[in-house]
Amino acid sequence: AKYKSEILAILQRSGESLTAQDTFSFSRLGEGMGYASYLWTVRIGVRMYAVKITDPVQKVGDISTGLTEEHR
């Protein structure tokens, strides 16, 4: 939930209009293709964004697990 609210705030500051009805999902670029990436595809409604998520404390795998479980 931490990253969802941060990403939504960034997109709203950039002028995107977002509603609670918009579907919201994350997927990690390169997943299943043999390499790891800090870049994620973020889908909000019919719109799609590329977002770079880095966290020096938490591993990307942990972030992936949390987002997958919470936002599907």
Residue range 20-61, pLDDT digits in tens: 677 877 777 776 676 667 787 888 888 887 777 666 455 555
Q: Which residues contact 69 (CB under 8 A, 6 or more apart)?
A: none
Pairing label, strands 47-52, 39-44? antiparallel
Asked if 54 and 36 touch (Cβ cutoff 8 Å), the reply is: no
**pLDDT at position 72, please?**
41
- C-alpha separations of 46 from 18, 31, 50 in Å: 11, 21, 14
